[in-house]
Each structure stands twice: as C-alpha cells, then as structure tokens.
Amino acid sequence: MKNTFKTTLLLSLMTGLFLAVGYWLGGQSGMIMALVFAGISNFAMYWFSGSMVLKMQGAQPLDIAQYGTIERMVQDLASKDSLPMPKLYFVDTPIPNAFATGRNKHNAVVAVTRGITEILDDNELKAVLAHELGHVKNNDMLVSTIAATLGGAISAIAQMAMFFGGNDKDAPNPIAAIAMMLLAPLAAMMVQMAVSRSREFGADDHGAHLVGSGKYLASALQKLDDFKPALENYQPSPNQEATNHLMFTNLFTLQGVSSLFSTHPTTEARVARLQRNDTYGRQS
C-alpha cells in the first residue's frame, strides 16, 4: 500500500509537471495539447509497454530446450511468491543484464541476456530472477515505463514549442519558453530517478528474502560491475539508452550532467545494503 501511494504521488506530480509545461509553453492551447498527449501516452504505455520494450531490445521467447534451468528457477520462485508464471524472453547479446516488463502481474515478462547466463552461476542467476520478480510483485514495471514516457513527452512538447511557438495570448515570452524547454526534461528525469532508485532497493530486498540470502545477489551485482570496464568504449544504441532504467543494473558509463540522472543506485550502495542485512534467511 505504501509503495502504491508513493507511486501514485510521483506519477501525479509527473502529470502535473507535464500539463504545466504545456501551459507555460503554449498557454491554454499548449495545456490542452499536453493533456491529449499525456492521455495517449498513458493509454499506449498501459496496453503496449511490454511488447514495445521487448521489440526495442530484440528479445525472443526463451528457448526452453536450451535454458530449461531458467524456466525451473522462475517456476520455483513464482510459486514461492504466489505469482502467476511470467513469460520468459531472451536477448542474444553479450551484455549481461536482465529486466522485467508488462502492465501487471498477469501480463509480466522476465527477460535475460545471453551475457548474464554466461557470467553468473545458478545461485546468482536465481537471485537476479528473484529481484526481477520483486519488480513484478511491487508493480514497478508499468510505473517506470510511464515515468520515462512522460519525461520523453515533456521533451517532445518543448522541442515542438521551439519550432512552432505558442499562438495563445497567454503564451510566455521566448526567454521563458527556452527556460522551460531546458528545465522541464531535467525535472521529468529527476522524478524518474526517484522512482527508479527506490524501486531497485525494494526489489533487491524482495529478491534476497525470496532466495533466503542477500549474498548471491550481492555477488551477482559485483560480477556485473566488474564487467563494466569491457564496455568502457561501447556506445549504447538509442533503444538501449531508452530502456536502461528497466535493467537489473546500469552497465553504461554516464559522463557529465548525464551522470546526475542515473536511474540506479550505485553498485557499492546496493551491495553494502545487502551485506549488512543478515536477516533475509530468517524472515518469511
């Protein structure tokens, strides 16, 4: 209930910000345009967010014949967690990661990459899958997708205003429009960051409780962090950047101002949190 309230509050703030940007950039007509845009975006994200993310990642249904161990892990975890069995997908990339998507528990998808299956042992991989089921249990997937979409929509409206301007008599002067064009996307990303960081800690705790220990998840996080130097010169695609907030961990190095908008806590913070909590195995 607490998580639902916090989620609702954050998304309400995001929507309010979205409408405010529309008003300040185009007066009443801009606010109406923003409201329509927000409605369309929310509708599309609710019904199609899962399939959109899978397409952006190039994910395919998991080959059960080759990865039957993963199916059995998820079946065991979902049963313990009283969750419906999610659909399982596979992304054929050496970049080690995992993610969950879908609009609710009954339409959830859990995906893993080839890279993560090659780097982690079974205990670590099961802990990562438990983390992703934590997102499913806490209804995090849709929240983060909508937050990202609204943030992108705010940026789109700002860009349209730069080219077309506002015709409404209440529209601001050009300096105000430029200020909103710069500040609105930043504010949107700050809200997304708040959602994402809190949900990662919550999913870590949930996953550790589900497997009975935080040590395997901490070990998995450390192994993936150790892999990051191999990606130092890697340039992520636009699709990888757009879906990075959904991933188990951020493997891409962000520089300068972009580093302020990291959607994940640091690996050090997550590992330390898991290691100092020694009660996972004694709680149901």
Could you read off the pLDDT of 170-215 as tens digits, one per residue? 555 565 556 555 665 566 565 566 566 788 999 999 999 999 999 9
Predicted local confidence at residue 214, as pLDDT: 94
Nearest to 177 by CA among 164, 190, 152, 158: 158
Which has more pLDDT, 52 or 163?
52
Could you read off the pLDDT of 120-155 as tens digits, one per residue? 999 999 999 999 999 999 888 767 666 655 555 555
Task: State the residue for tokens 């913070």.
Answer: 269
Rounded to the nearest integer, the mean pLDDT of the chain is 79
Distance of CA 12 to the CA centre of its chain: 18
Asked if 132 is an active-site residue, the reply is yes
Which residue of the set 124, 132, 241, 268 is catalytic? 132
* C-alpha distance from residue 12 to each of 45, 96, 144, 221 (Å): 16, 34, 13, 32
Q: Which long-range contacts (CB under 8 A, 24 or more apart) does 60-66 make?
A: 60/89, 60/90, 60/91, 60/92, 61/87, 61/88, 61/89, 61/90, 62/88, 62/89, 62/90, 62/112, 63/90, 64/88
Predicted local confidence at residue 252, as pLDDT: 82
Coil/strand/helix, residue 139: coil
Report the amino acid identity of residue 233: N
Nearest to 264 by CA among 101, 77, 74, 99: 99
Q: Please tell me the distance from the alpha carbon of residue 191 to that of residue 6, in angstroms, as a whole number.
A: 12
Q: What is the pTM of this model?
A: 0.77
- Domain boundary assignment for the chain: 2-282
